[in-house]
Structure 1
């Protein structure tokens, strides 16, 4: 597992920044992890799992 920053999350999921944060607020997207006072990232594993769930639910 490793951390990925917002631009990588956006590129990987195809979602925009506003959509990501709106979905996080609704508990429909993995929460970010605070790395420092002004830095956050996401777990690559949680993003992959979220994407796999979206694929399964669309079948």
Structure 2
């Protein structure tokens, strides 16, 4: 370990939390990177009008 945290970071294997597209996680895993994949989709599937209506239900 060095006295420089940036150098330590660059010399440490990456650990990744992948949110959303599973293909990104698979690609990283294929390269030997430790990955935790989290299934996530935008609220209302990304439809802004539906998201606005759903937000009224939560209030």
Please state which band the TM-score falls in when normalised by the shorter chain: under 0.3
Larger Rg: 2
What is the TM-score with the length of structure 1 in the denominator? Answer: 0.25
What is the TM-score with the length of structure 2 in the denominator? Answer: 0.25
